[in-house]
Structure formats: structure tokens, C-alpha cells
Amino acid sequence: MIVKKGIGVSPGVGIGPAFVLENEEFDVPERHVPPERSPAELARLKQAIVVAKKDVRSLQHETASRIGKETAAIFDFHAGLLSDTALIAKFTEQIMKAHVTAEFAVADVLRNYAREFLGMPEYLADRVKDVYDIEKRLLRNLIGQQQQTLHHLTSDRCILAHDLTPSQTAGADRTHVRGLAIDAGGRTSHTAILARTLGIPAVVGLNDVTAAAQSGMTVIIDGNRGVVVLDPDAKTIAQYQSYQQRQVAYIHSLDELKDLPATTRDGHDVVLLGNIEFPEETEVVLAKGGQGIGLYRTEFLYLGSNIVPSEEDQYRAYRHVLESCANRPVVIRTLDLGADKLTQSRARVPERNPFLGLRSIRLSLQDIPMFKTQLRAILRASVEGQASVMFPLVTSLLELRQAKAIVRDVAEDLEEEGLPHKADIPIGVMIETPAAALQCQQFAKEVDFFSIGSNDLAQYTLAVDRGNERVASLFTMAHPSIIRLLKQIIRAGQRYDVRVSLCGEMAGEPQYTMLLLGLGLRVFSCAPGAIPEIKKLIRSVTMAHADQVARRVLTFESETEIISYLRAETRKVLPEVISD
């Protein structure tokens, strides 16, 4: 039994057999399979070789016709390697006798083979690169097979991966995923957010859980305590099953709040909305007692499949959300897409600093046809309910004005085409960069609403990558600088009569609820699963107490003082929402 500690990012306990997803960009660890699975591993390898041979041949044909036969001849060596009986015998021996995974057999045998070329004359030493190339090709095929399996799981599994992109998570067969355990990542990485929305227990920032795990072994993933147990004994399984039952009972105990308002004990009304990534989650938000959708992350239309969604695909998705919400508010955020959300290999152009790169509104403004397609779908669907449109990662008024001008263009086009649409759709911006926060008074004059993206606001203010486990301890919403910015944004909203909501993960974390109420926030938008607990807390506090908490927090100088004070005050009101 091995116990690993990470960051619990999505509550609940998942128990089941592991599915370990390899990663082509990292060293493949030595992993064994039960002997009876070795023939299946060998079959996977043979399939990967067949695909690789086909790819090499077509690459060779293409090169021959584009550049010439001589250059294309380099692929003869690649094709030869893939048919080399001595090499194939070595792969087979590793898989059938040492019972390692196909991935490890490929990496181990080919790395040793490559070593034989080092120290040879230069023209032969160059072959090392070709061997590595073949290794990569085979690993990519094997990992591609694994990803296909992830999309079509036939039984329940706990997924363990070095890293999972939001698109891999979105593409996984959700009905069979019992939990996620990931080496990389932080609390507000997009995979963590997605797990929370989907209600899948998840632990990230585990560093090396995949190196110690093997597919098929039993795994416990405890998203509340941030613990992963590999190969647990019977006593430990029983202990976590009892945690699991308690968690389910607690969630059910909150069901009675569903139709009650989010009103404080002294009569102040708060609006509680849900964040979604997929249209079908709208029903979950409403079932949990949410009053509408405060953030629809539309980029997941792109991330869930390899096909670029058409205007009609998008229109159908937005209309589904609006119809399900039956005239409740729905905030549709335009694409927040960029190299940060795709693997670097799927990104259009790999970037050195994807979070500071061509992301979000910047990408939309550089790809006007794509942006217009989305805006057409939004404006057309918005006749079905109470939609508003919101732009992410805005850093300057010029960007906002440009985006608004494109909305106007699109409305004119739809008018000319005689297609029903809502030309005067409310327009908002996410305040999620220090630039927008510091200029929020100017923004307030040009928009209908603000939504604070506390995840990115913290990332860019504190200069901490939100998805990097190595700096996860530095990532905190309790930093005095963040709290000052929040106060400033909420004040500007009050002064210019612009509605302010907060849709970052902070909105769903009970320890911040009183502070946010005290700072004047009246609209919260969080993961569907967090809605009942936040509602319970709001119904348990008085605004007078919340005001006092916010005033006190503003006097503190460090995040440690702030967080311990907030936890203590929250515990006084509702002890069960603050875990030890």
C-alpha cells in the first residue's frame, strides 16, 4: 500500500481499478501488468507497429513527390527498424517474459538500441535521432490507443495521469470515471475545474503518482483530503468506503435547501448561479438550486472533440442552455481558447508562455471569422431566453471596443439576412487581469456587467502559474493584494451601477463567502456541486457579521493571517464546511 499526498480539488471519494495514462513527453516508467494481460499488451504493440509502418510509407511517398527520392530514402531506415525481427523479438521478450507494458518495452529496447550507435562513426551516430523518432512514433500510437480507451471505457476506472489536458478530461467517458489522480496541476487548473463541475473526485499536484502505479491495481482517490492510496489493504478500503457514505449523506442533507432563497439571516438577497462547461450541465445547476448560469465556458465545445463546431452546432448548444434555464439568466462567455488549454502539440503554434500568449479574446480578435461565427450563434440563440455575452481576458478598453464593434457588425448581418436575433444583448467583461482591475472604473462606463475571474486575477497578480504544482502553495486568493483589487472592482460596480458577479473558484469555497459578502458581492457563480453548501452558509450568516469580517481582513498584512481568520470565523457560523 502506498499513500500519496496532493491537492484535493474536487470533493468525494472514488475507489476502483487504475487506468494509467502514459505521457509521450516524459520518460516512460517501468510498469508491469499481470501475466495474463501480457498477450493483450503484445497485441497493442503489434497494432502500433502496423500503424507506424503505414505512416512511414505515406510520409516517404509524400517526401519523394515533394522533395525527391534521395531525401525520401531516409525513411527506408525507419521502415527497416519497424520490420527488424531482432528488435521485435526483444520487444516480445520484454512484454511476455518481464510482463512490462508495451510502452515501457518500446522505450527500453529502443533506448538501448540507440546507445549502440553512440560512439560509432559520425554517419552512423546520426542514426540515434532516427531511433528516437521511431520510439516517439510508436509511443504516440500506443498512447493514442489509450486515449481512445479513455473515451470508451467499458467499466469503472480511476484515471491516473502525469497531466491531463482539459480536452482529454472532457473527452473521457464520464459515466465510468470514478476519480482522477494527476501528477501535475493546481487548484484552479482547468482540469481541476472540470472535475469539480462534473462531480468527479480529483487530486492533483501528486508529482509522481503515475510512476508508482500500474493499470489494474486498486486505487482510492480522496478529493476532500487530497490523498491517493495505491493498492490499499482491506482495512483502508473499509475506512474510505465509510468516508464515501458520509459524504453522500452530507450531500443529500443539503437537498432540502434546493428551493429556498440564498438570503442572509438579516434579509439580504444574494444571487447564486452555476458555472458550466457543457450544455447538459445546466440541468445539474438547476437541480442543485442554482438560479441560472453565471459562466458558460464555451471553449469546451472545441475541447470535447476534434471537430471545429459550426455555427449551427454552437447555436444548438446555446439554445439548449437557454431553453433549459427557462428565462433565468445565462452568461455566455466567448471562447477562452489558447495554448494553455490544448496540449502544446494540438495548439496551432506551440507557445513558450501560453498563459501570456495568444489566448482568449486575443485569439478571437485575431480570428474574426471564428469570432463572428460564435457571436452569430449567440445572438441567434439569445431570442430564446435571458442571455448575455461576456468577453474573457480583456486587458484594454480598445479590445473591448473592438469586440463590441464586431457584435454590432454581426447583428447588422443577421438583420440583413432576416434571421431572428437579439441585437441589444447585454455585454460584460471578465475582470481577471490586473490591467482590467486597475482600470475598472473606465470599463464600468462601457459594459453592462462585470464578472470577476479570481482564478486568473490571482495567477496574473501573484505571477503564479495556476496549473503548476511546484508553485501551488503560492497560489492563494487570500493575498492582501487580491482582496484590495476585489474591493476596488466591487466598489466601481456599485458606483456606476454595473452588476458585479464573481465566477472564479473562490465563489464556491466556503471560507471566502463571508469576506465576499462583506466586500459587497451579491452575485456568486460557482461549480454546480458547491451551490448547496454556499447557499447554506449564506443563509446562516448576517450581513452585519460579514461586513465586520471584511473590515477586519482589510487590516491584515499577510495571507496566512487572513486565511486562518476567515476559517475561524466561518467555523463559528457553520463548523461542518471547514475541514481540518
Task: Kindly identify the residues of this chain, within the stretch 440-469, that bind Mg ion according to CB under 5 A.
Answer: 453, 456
Q: Nearer Cβ to ligand PEP, position 75 or 300?
A: 300
CB of 503 to ligand PEP, least distance (A): 5
SS3 206: coil
Contact 23, 31 (CB under 8 A): no
In 3D space, the residue among 331, 317, 318 whose CA is nearest the CA of residue 271 turns out to be 331
Alpha-carbon distances of 518 from 487, 500, 515, 538, rounded to whole Å: 10, 14, 5, 11
503 counts as catalytic: yes
Q: Which amino acid is at 396?
A: S
Residue 78 interacts, among ligand PEP, Mg ion, none and using kind-specific CB cut-offs from 5 to 8 Å, with none
Would you count residue 504 as binding ligand PEP (CB under 6 A)?
yes
Residue 223 interacts, among Mg ion, ligand PEP, none and using kind-specific CB cut-offs from 5 to 8 Å, with none
The one catalytic residue among 78, 503, 526, 545: 503
Contact 518, 466 (CB under 8 A): no
Question: What count of other Cβ atoms lies within 10 Å of the Cβ of residue 420?
Answer: 11
CB of 15 to Mg ion, least distance (A): 33
What's 447's DSSP letter? -
Alpha-carbon distances of 112 from 52, 87, 103, 567, rounded to whole Å: 20, 11, 14, 54
Would you count residue 186 as binding ligand PEP (CB under 6 A)?
no
Q: What residues contact residue 54 under an 8 Å CB cut-off, 6+ apart?
A: none
Binders of ligand PEP: how many residues, by CB under 6 A? 11
| Separation CA 566–CA 552 (nearest Å) | 10
CB of 319 to ligand PEP, least distance (A): 22
Site string for Mg ion, 106-145 (x = CB under 5 A): ----------------------------------------
Residue 297 interacts, among Mg ion, ligand PEP, none and using kind-specific CB cut-offs from 5 to 8 Å, with ligand PEP
Residue 197 interacts, among ligand PEP, Mg ion, none and using kind-specific CB cut-offs from 5 to 8 Å, with none
Would you count residue 503 as binding ligand PEP (CB under 6 A)?
yes
Task: Select the residue interacting with ligand PEP from 456, 509, 533, 569 (CB under 6 A).
Answer: 456
Would you count residue 453 as binding ligand PEP (CB under 6 A)?
yes
Contact 289, 259 (CB under 8 A): yes
CB of 346 to Mg ion, least distance (A): 20
190 counts as catalytic: yes
H/E segment holding residue 461: helix 454-462
Stretch that binds ligand PEP, among 259-267, 306-314, 395-403, 449-457 (CB under 6 A): 449-457
* Total count of residues recorded for the chain: 580
CB of 505 to ligand PEP, least distance (A): 7
Q: What residues contact residue 211 under an 8 Å CB cut-off, 6+ apart?
A: 29
Residue 321 interacts, among ligand PEP, Mg ion, none and using kind-specific CB cut-offs from 5 to 8 Å, with none
Would you count residue 103 as binding Mg ion (CB under 5 A)?
no
CB of 68 to ligand PEP, least distance (A): 48
Would you count residue 354 as binding ligand PEP (CB under 6 A)?
no
Q: What is the dihedral of CA 287, 290, 295, 301, to 10 degrees?
A: 10
Alpha-carbon distances of 13 from 226, 228, 379, 531, rounded to whole Å: 10, 10, 41, 19
Task: Select the residue interacting with ligand PEP from 135, 163, 281, 336 (CB under 6 A).
Answer: 336
Would you count residue 340 as binding Mg ion (CB under 5 A)?
no
Would you count residue 436 as binding ligand PEP (CB under 6 A)?
no
SS3 219: strand
What would the grid cell of residue 40 be?
493483450
Would you count residue 432 as binding ligand PEP (CB under 6 A)?
yes
Would you count residue 455 as binding ligand PEP (CB under 6 A)?
yes
Q: Nearer Cβ to ligand PEP, position 407 or 457?
A: 457
Classify the phi-psi angles of 193: left when phi > 0, otherwise alpha if psi is within -120 to 50, otherwise beta.
alpha
Residue 101 interacts, among ligand PEP, Mg ion, none and using kind-specific CB cut-offs from 5 to 8 Å, with none
SS3 190: helix
First CA to last CA across the chain, in angstroms? 24
Classify the phi-psi angles of 370: left when phi > 0, otherwise alpha if psi is within -120 to 50, otherwise beta.
alpha
Would you count residue 193 as binding ligand PEP (CB under 6 A)?
yes
| Separation CA 36–CA 96 (nearest Å) | 9
**Residues 128, 134, 140, 143: is their CA dihedral positive or negative?**
negative
CB of 516 to Mg ion, least distance (A): 17
Would you count residue 297 as binding ligand PEP (CB under 6 A)?
yes
Would you count residue 183 as binding Mg ion (CB under 5 A)?
no
Would you count residue 281 as binding ligand PEP (CB under 6 A)?
no
Q: How far is CA 257 from the centre of its chain?
A: 29
In 3D space, the residue among 117, 143, 144 whose CA is nearest the CA of residue 130 turns out to be 117
Parallel/antiparallel/unpaired status of strands 227-230 and 2-5: antiparallel
Stretch that binds Mg ion, among 147-155, 165-173, 323-331, 425-433 (CB under 5 A): 425-433
Binders of Mg ion: how many residues, by CB under 5 A? 3
Residue 414 interacts, among ligand PEP, Mg ion, none and using kind-specific CB cut-offs from 5 to 8 Å, with none
In 3D space, the residue among 208, 127, 190, 538 whose CA is nearest the CA of residue 355 turns out to be 190
Would you count residue 432 as binding Mg ion (CB under 5 A)?
yes
The one catalytic residue among 162, 190, 479, 545: 190
CB of 193 to ligand PEP, least distance (A): 6
Binding site for ligand PEP (CB under 6 A): 193, 295, 297, 336, 432, 453-456, 503-504
Binding site for Mg ion (CB under 5 A): 432, 453, 456
**Catalytic residue IDs:** 190, 503
